[in-house]
Amino acid sequence: MALKAIIYKATVQLSDIDRGVYGDHPLTIARHPSETDERMLIRLLAFALNVPADDAGGTLEFAKDMWDADEPALWQKDLTGQIISHWIEVGQPDEKRLLRTTSRVGCVSVYSFASSTPVWWKAVESKLTRAQNLTVWQIPSEQSRSLAALAQRTMELQVTVQDGAIWIGDGTRSIEVSPVRLFGKS
C-alpha cells in the first residue's frame, strides 16, 4: 500500500520590506512521504520570497513536484491557469530540465539547500549561462537544517525580509536565513 501525503497547515505572516509585500497567507502543504521537514520549510521560504503583492498576475501555488516529474515545487500561473509566469524549483534539478523550462516560462528560480550545492552548481553552471530568466539561490545548509526545527503539523510563522536579510520565527524561535545568489539578476 502506498503511503499518503502528510498534510501541514501554516499561516505565514509576511513582512517583505524590500519588495513592499505584506500579508497573512494561510497555506495547506501536502508533504510527500519521502520529503524531509527541511525541504518542506525551504518550499515555504520560497513561497514567502516570491509571493506577489497581489493576484493580478495570478497566484503562487504549491505544485506536485514530488508526485509529478513535470511540475515544479511552486508555480505562478496567469489568471486563466494556462500560462506559467514563474516556475520555482527546490533542490538541484538537472540542467536539461532547467534549460527546457527557461525556454517556455517567464521566470525560473531555484532554491538549493544541500551541502553539496557548490559541487552541483560547478557541474551545471557553464551549461546555464544562456538562461537569462534563471535565478539560482543557495540556502546555506546549516541554516536550512535549522529551519527544519520549525516544522509542526500546524504552524504560525512570521517571515520578515529587510535589506536582503530574512528572519523566520514561530513565536519562540527565530532563524536568520541568508540566501546566496549563485546566478541571475537581482
Domain ranges of the chain: 7-183
% the chain with pLDDT above 90: 84
Spatial CB neighbours of 98, under 8 Å, sequence gap ≥ 6: 89, 108, 110, 124, 128, 131, 134
How confident is the model at residue 147, as a pLDDT?
97
Mean pLDDT over 4-12 rounds to 94
Residues 141-146 have a mean pLDDT of 97
Long-range contacts of 34-37 (CB under 8 A, 24+ apart): 34/66, 35/66, 36/148, 37/148, 37/149, 37/151
Phi-psi region of 155 (alpha: psi -120 to 50; beta: other; left: phi over 0): beta
- Taking alpha carbons only, the member of 24, 79, 89, 80 closest to residue 51 is 24
User: What digits encode the pLDDT tens for the residues 89-111?
Assistant: 999 999 999 999 999 999 999 99
Alpha-carbon 99 to chain mean position: 18
Round to whole Å and give the CA distance between 47 and 144: 15
Residue 168 has pLDDT above 90, yes or no: yes
CB-CB contact of 119 with 12 (8 Å): no
- Among the listed residues 126, 168, 185, the one whose alpha carbon sits nearest the alpha carbon of residue 41: 168
Res 137 pLDDT > 60: yes
Say how far apart CA 116 and CA 24 lie, in whole Å: 34
User: Would you say residue 2 has pLDDT above 90?
Assistant: no
pTM of the predicted model as reported, rounded to 2 decimal places: 0.94
Residue 67 or residue 90, greater confidence:
90
Question: What's the mean pLDDT when you consider all of the chain?
Answer: 94
Q: Characterize the bridge pairing of strands 60-62 and 174-177.
A: unpaired
- Predicted confidence at residue 68, as pLDDT, reads 85
Topology given in CATH for the domain delimited by 7-183? Restriction endonuclease-like alpha-beta roll fold (3.10.640)
CA angle 3, 69, 65 (to 5 degrees): 65
pLDDT category of residue 185 using cuts at 50, 70 and 90? confident
